[in-house]
């Protein structure tokens, strides 16, 4: 058994993003909205990465972001950018229904070594499979920006689980009472919450516990979202044949608006036969830099809570990790940690949720992959 100080240090170091041996790949950025402007590019500059070009739907907006982040080249269109022979990594932050078209063109550029797709990688399983197949056909490393995997509390929790400190997992929960504010493109879709925000929790369950054996989901609409949609407030549970339940309540209503007081948060908890851990995700307080948290107690450390500390935050610091793992895959000619091929199963879990809603039943995961 490690000392308390040693295990705290182990968990704190587990939150650090991976460091690629080569990190100066020339990055071309598609998109100049909030996620690119305030998250991708901030984290890339902090990490010493090398964004060299940008394009967006509106050139003036791309020029503004290029000036903000010292990007030397602004293209009129993404079609021009993906053909540039100097680009080595393509970083996409566009609405998901438009992403497959961008990838289809980008893979034809022989100088592009890797592509970082935005989540969701596509709006259905067929689109996710197509992108993964394009990567294999053209020999490109394609990864997905499932950035909650690099939230500091999730990295530390994963390390704790790998160390078996909590024993066999009994139940895991995520509760979100928060309002995503940057995804205005969602008004174009009838699938709102699970594809927009819940996919982070779906993918985190897969990261932490593996693929589920079955999925149950219920939902209602969000009174704040006036456009037609299926899911605004959702509750979904992953069933595992070896015992654990993993369930998330995602409430993007969260606040009836003024004059009511706000009470927004994301918190999680994992209980096992030998211990339990709980924590919070700091994102709801953005732009205030509030780190996510973790504390745990176990039979190995009786009668106390152990609480590691870090000063990094999910937005924007986690975005360094998603790009770094793609660079490492390129360096080592290996599969990205969050590969397009692996992400097919995340989309399959999301689709299982919607199937469960539509058919009012528990859906076996194997149904989605058959």
Say which CATH number the domain at 259 has.
Answer: 3.30.360.10
Cβ neighbours of 75 (radius 10 Å): 21
Question: Which pLDDT band, with edges at 50, 70 and 90, does 83 fall under?
Answer: very high
Does one domain contain both 233 and 304?
yes
Does one domain contain both 26 and 142?
yes
Does one domain contain both 163 and 92?
no
Does one domain contain both 197 and 289?
yes
Does pLDDT of 287 surpass 70?
yes
Residue recorded with tokens 């918190």:
267
- Whether 135 is covered by a domain: the verdict is yes
Does pLDDT of 182 surpass 60?
no
Does one domain contain both 125 and 166?
no
What distance in Å separates the CA atoms of residue 234 and residue 198, rounded to the nearest whole number?
Answer: 8
pLDDT digits (tens, 9 = 90+) for 301-317: 999 999 999 999 999 99
Residue 166 lies in domain: 148-313+347-369
Say which CATH number the domain at 63 has.
Answer: 3.40.50.720
Model pTM score: 0.96
- Whether 2 is covered by a domain: the verdict is no
Strands, sheet with 114-117, edge to edge from the N-terminal-most edge strand: 73-74, 50-55, 26-30, 89-92, 114-117, 141-144
Does one domain contain both 120 and 175?
no
What distance in Å separates the CA atoms of residue 49 and residue 218, rounded to the nearest whole number?
Answer: 42
What distance in Å separates the CA atoms of residue 140 and residue 6, rounded to the nearest whole number?
Answer: 40
Cα separation values, 203 from 113, 119, 199, 305, Å: 25, 10, 6, 27
pLDDT digits (tens, 9 = 90+) for 221-267: 999 888 889 999 999 999 999 889 999 999 999 989 899 999 999 99
Could you give the number of structural domains in the chain? 2
Does one domain contain both 159 and 229?
yes
Closest CA to 29 of 10, 49, 12: 49
What distance in Å separates the CA atoms of residue 28 and residue 52, rounded to the nearest whole number?
Answer: 6
Does one domain contain both 105 and 162?
no
Does one domain contain both 49 and 81?
yes
């Amino acid at each position: 058994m490690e000392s308390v100080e040693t295990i705290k240090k182990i968990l704190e170091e587990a939150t650090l993003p991976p460091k690629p041996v080569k990190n100066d790949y020339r990055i071309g950025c598609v998109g100049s909205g909030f996620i690119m402007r305030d998250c991708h590019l901030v984290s890339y500059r902090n990490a010493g990465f090398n964004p060299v070009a940008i394009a967006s739907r509106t050139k003036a907006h791309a020029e503004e972001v290029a000036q903000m982040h010292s990007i030397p080249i602004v293209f009129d269109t993404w079609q021009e950018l993906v053909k540039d022979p100097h680009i080595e990594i393509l970083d996409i932050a566009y609405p998901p229904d438009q992403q497959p078209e961008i990838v289809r063109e980008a893979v034809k550029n022989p100088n592009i070594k890797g592509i970082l797709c935005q989540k969701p990688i596509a709006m259905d399983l067929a689109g996710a499979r197509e992108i993964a197949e394009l990567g294999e056909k053209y020999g490109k490393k394609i990864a997905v920006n499932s950035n909650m995997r690099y939230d500091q509390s999730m990295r530390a929790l994963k390390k704790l689980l790998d160390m078996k400190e909590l024993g066999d997992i009994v139940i895991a929960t995520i509760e979100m009472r928060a309002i995503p504010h940057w995804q205005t493109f969602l008004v174009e879709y009838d699938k709102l919450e699970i594809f927009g925000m819940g996919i982070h929790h779906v993918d985190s369950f897969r990261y932490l516990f593996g693929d589920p054996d079955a999925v149950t989901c219920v939902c209602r609409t969000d009174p704040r979202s006036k456009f037609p949609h299926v899911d605004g407030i959702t509750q979904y549970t992953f069933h595992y044949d070896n015992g654990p339940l993993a369930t998330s309540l995602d409430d993007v209503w969260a606040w009836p608006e003024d004059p009511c007081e706000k009470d927004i948060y994301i918190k999680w908890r994992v209980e096992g036969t030998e211990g339990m851990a709980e924590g919070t995700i700091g994102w709801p307080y953005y732009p205030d830099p509030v780190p996510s948290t973790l504390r745990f107690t176990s039979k190995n450390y009786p009668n106390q809570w152990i609480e590691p500390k870090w000063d990094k935050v999910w937005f924007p610091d986690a975005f360094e990790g998603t790009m770094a793992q793609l660079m490492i895959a390129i360096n080592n000619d290996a599969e990205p940690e969050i590969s397009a091929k692996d992400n097919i199963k995340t989309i399959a879990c999301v689709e299982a949720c919607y199937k469960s809603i539509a058919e009012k039943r528990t859906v076996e995961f194997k149904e989605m992959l058959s």
